Amino acid sequence: MVTPTYGTMTFATGGSNITVDLYVADVANAPVHFDSGNGASATSETFWVAPSNGAIVDLSFVTGPTVIFKFGILASGARTRSTPRLANHLNTLAFRPQLNIPVSAGEQIAMVELV
């Protein structure tokens, strides 16, 4: 049984943070959808463009997905070396692993759901 859910990506830049809502369909190899202005949903964009140099520092997901176990993160179409596991980034955890995935201004950030 698939269980679509939501999450948040935190992007740190120049001393401030930008949070971006995410929609996770809970389907293997499906793209994660990013808030493109009206909230994240199944019809939102499948990428987010970094407004400046910075880093993805946190991912937080609502408990629920039953099909996917980790996420592949892409920057301008190329896989990064980071593959965060869903179980380590649930919003119910008091302490999540810190991320530091560098991103350049203008890069398109995308994520894919992996088993």
Q: Going residue by residue through the chain (115 aa), what tens digit of pLDDT does each one get?
A: 688 999 999 999 988 999 999 999 999 999 999 998 889 999 999 999 999 999 999 999 998 888 989 999 999 999 999 999 999 999 999 899 999 999 999 999 999 999 9
List the structure tokens of 110: 């995308």
Quick one: DSSP state of residue 31? Answer: B
What pLDDT is recorded for position 20? Answer: 98
Cα gap 97→79, rounded to integer Å: 20
Residue 74 near residue 58, CB atoms below 8 Å:
no
For the full predicted model, state whether its pTM sits above 0.85: yes
Given this model, what pLDDT does residue 24 score? Answer: 96
